[in-house]
Structure 1
Amino acid sequence: MAERALARSESQFLTLADAAPAMLWVTEPDGRCSFLSRGWYAFTGQSELEGLGLGWTAMIHPEDRAAASKAFLEANARREEFSLEHRLLHADGGYRWVIDAGRPRWSAGGDFLGFVGNVLDINDRKQTEQALHETRETLSAMFEALPVGVAVVDRHGKVVLSNKEMHSYLPTNILPSLDDARRERWRAVHADGRPYARQDFVGARALRGERVVPGIEALYTNDDGNEIWTQVAAVPLTGSDGGLNGQVTVVMNIDAFKRTEAALRLAESKQRSLFDEVAKSNKNLSEFLAVLAHELRNPLAPILTGLEIMRMRSDSTETIMNVRGIIERQVKQLSHLIGDLLDIARVTNGKVDIRKAQVDLKSIVSNAVETSLLLIEQGHHLFSLKLHDAPLPVNADAARIAQVVGNLLTNAAKYTPHGGTIALTVEQDGMDAVISVTDSGIGIPAQALESVFDMFSQVGRNMHHAQGGLGIGLSLVRQLVSLHDGTVRAISEGPGKGSTFIVRLPVDPGGMAVFAGVAAPNATAGAAKTLRILVVDDNVDAASTLAALLDMHGHDLRVAHDGRQAVALAEQFLPQVVFLDIGMPEMTGYEVAQQLRKNKDLDACRIVAVSGWGAKDDLARSKEAGFDMHFTKPVAPARVSDFLDSLR
């Protein structure tokens, strides 16, 4: 009976061990392994003969093996619990991170019998930790690049994140729990001359849920004993439950503005016009600071909340992966904002690097269009592109002119109501190359046609029409165009009647001879059309813009906007290349591709998927459906050109 009971017990143990999600093991007093569960053999690919005894140590990564073996043997000698992390060779040939934990087992009489433990695969968690570490490093680098001081403070008044610029001011009485000696470095007064009480300063107010924007002006005494003017704003951070998680404080050095303002006041009678301009600039600066605080708060709030969620749910890989995705998206938004700030700072300070070369303006514009297509499509705008027949040689920095065109198109997309129209034309007027961007948007009042290009002049006006950003794009456009000896002006019949922005750049006379032998795409279409291409997309704008770009390269084009029309057109046209959208109603791109593959006349046709989905599973599915290539939207023109060149 004892033998049968023992057999039942062993059978139950083996069943439990093999069903456990972890790999279970048992060792004897001398440290040799006497049992490994089925999970171990499935994970490592070892046989029972190879794994038992000390054979299991052979599967540990060579760099971890000595330390892991030493830790196990020392724990065995001390007869104490242990837990260690190391890399273990998987049956697929790769190493994965595991956590190996064990505890001693004893007989009823107190004799040491060895260890029992488990090995748990934590590779996904380790990779996520590494990705989050890299994300933190990226976020830290971007914060350091900001030209303003930024501090994220938790609900207890502790700074959890700050940049180098902010270290000039911390610790300060923007926080509620700092020493009085440092508080004395700050002095702020109301408009009526009353000093701010400690509990009424921006940080303390934000921690009570108040948005302190555009903030207050305050004098700060630096380490040299000099007082400098600053603008301080703060906004509260709320969690997913609506409760306060902390606040974000932004400090900007406005000393030059304030001292200029003070100097102008002394000569107000003689310099009234200049004083008004500085006052206006100061007001715009305050509004800009408010917008900057708002735009920084948008990505910082989910980042701070996400970090709190990760702290509370650190054992959930799925939760950590979701939060990681959120943080990465918000970091990209911060990167875009910082890029705008750095660009305007470089141009304003004369430090922008302009590298001019002899280029065809039409090719610059074609490349610039691609960067704005996604925003145009999101607004469901009807977009048209018209290029000059002949080449337009200019002596310019191609990247900066592309930035000018991209900013104008982005502005048009942002400030044009849903479903509007946007037109881009490039033509020659005498010895000038003329770029025009016309939209059916909100328009511009007559008195603002000139000031719309001033620094920060857009901030505070029409913000409900914009879709994020700092509103400094047009100022950057004017300054970049000026560096190319060109001009830019705005035309509008008034609010609600759309607007047109016209950029004029001097044509390079020396380039006329260089490009003289290059015929225009439209003029030589018959001779230059080297491939028959069918573009299929239910998004009319997306199909039209891709077709326009392909037509500029001289290809013979047909366009369809649904699957059935595409199949019928392909039977007649017999295209050599098909750019096919996948997500179409009624008949998907997968179904269209399968139909085309059944046509023997199209055996040599290359079918290219053009989709907003680009995950590994999406690529596999498109390949299975008969696609030769998979492009993820937005498609870079250079990639399309390289693909078509490879066919030719």
Structure 2
Amino acid sequence: APIKDSDGGVSGAVIVFRDVTERSQLESARRRSEQLLTDFFENAAIGLHWVSPDGKVIRVNRAELRLLGYAEEEYVGRPVSDFHADPAVIEDILARLARGETLQSYEARLRCKDGSIKYVLITSNVLWEDGQFIHSRCFTRDITAQKLAQMALQEAERRKSAILNAALDAIITMDHQGKVTDFNPAAEKIFGYERGNAVNRLLENLIVPQRLRQQHREGLERLLVTGESKILGKRIEMSALHADGSEFPVELSVIRIEGSDPPSFTATLRDIREAKKLQASQARLAAIVEYSDDGIVGKTLDGIVTSWNDAAQRIFGYSAEEMIGRSITTIIPVDRHAEETMILSRLRSGERIEHFDTVRVTKGGQLLQVSITSSPIRDSSGNIIGASKIVRDVTERKRVESALREADRRKDEFLATLAHEMRNPLAPILSAAKIVESPLASAEQKQRATQMIARQVGQMALLLNDLLDISRITLGKVTLRKERVDLQALIATAVETSRPLIEANHHTLDIDLPHERLELEVDRLRISQVLANLLTNSAKYTNQGGRIELRTTLRDNELVISVKDNGIGISADKIHSIFEMFSQVDSAIDRAQGGLGIGLSLVRGIVQLHGGSVTAHSEGLGCGSEFVVRLPRSIVTSVINAP
């Protein structure tokens, strides 16, 4: 400072020296500290930012800007809440800092400039001066990778847990010692153990039958030592043990858990009891379908064949390869296609069609009488998805039914004829009886009346004998009384019996016998009855003045006797049924000629009892007939050459 004299002039100066070395050093230290702080702030590996008391960012480092993708001017000066994804979280952070709390590793989510989210841990406290909130200091550590990995692991665990809990199969995990480490709800249900009672116990003691446990232990030991296993990664069937001690079949698959060391394993087991029952049922059904005598056909609701069993092939001639994929109308005559439209319509409505009699056509074009039962096929939801058809060839049944109806008709005709034949003699017998009783009748009249009664009674006796004979033959109650008899004598007896009718109709009878004299061992009366019936039939069904031939021929293995005429003949549709019971060539002719229609049936029965056969031949109506009796050579006991 200047020193002044009395006049006010400057006469000198006062200089004061102060040592400021320490202060200078302190300032330098302050500047170095600030530089270090700034360097630490800016170059820290983790994010740093300061927030003012009003919640705005007042400073941020490069690491945080890089983390979130912002420029400094985009970040500083904005409310810190703008960068938080969860408003409730930043509100909680600011409130706790305002209360003077220090936050340690507080988890938060920050929003990046590009909209993505970063998971961070925030460590923060407040700078206070004289009790005044200056600013908060926040360290932000990026844990996004760890968090995403953790979330993925948690999600995987949740999925695993959901799968285990929802699985219908038992899923059991075990360690390298064979101890259970997890036991899902399906395993509890299938094996009867609660999870808490199963975990940490040896699997073999829980579900492996006693007889298989040694095998189980050896397999596990081999796997641990050699890494080889007979079942690892394969599906096998085996018996399993329930908690109640019962055994049941399961399907087992075992895998090694990847990356486990020591190794651990997951076993998936499926209860296949119902599957086995279904398999057995399907096998039985398949056998029924395959070996059924009925055709069993599957088809869609559009009539396309989906299945075709062997019986269907036998019935229609088409193989499964030929029919599957084709329309069912392939086997339906064109004039019956409307039937299939009707059937499909009823099936779509859920109706079952039973015993529908119709006609179908084979691969070779043959028409078949069939009976069809069709049923709708439903899926598990009850929807109709197709149809099954059972086809039975009833051609033979229809033929038999027709034959039965024809036999019934012939029986009715026979009964009418029988009534007629039995009633006819009654009128002349009654008239003759009155003559015999009349005192006015002469002896000659009474004699003729008595003879008439005898003839009519004889006719009735013949009818009744024929009825009794055919009944006995049908019931198998005829006993042949065989004896040695000369063939010529047999023929003579038969001719004598039929001669009245032959002569009455003015027929010519030619008899051609072998040169040898034949002796037969037969029932004399029955064979005479056969020949007489054949001769009588020829006489009856040949117009007056006809010709009848009786011929006998001895062959190496048989004796042949034939009766041939030039009478009315037999139509082709009658030739095969002429020997049936009650069969007649023409009912009107038979009634006119008399007869019951049992004569030829009786002939066949007697000939068959002798081990022979009889056949009929005719070129048709108006062409005459020939009946041929063939008797075995063994009935000929001797052959005597004529002198």
TM-score by length of 2: 0.36
Q: Which has the higher contact order (CA 8 A, sep 6+)?
A: 1
Mark the structure with the bigger radius of gyration: 2
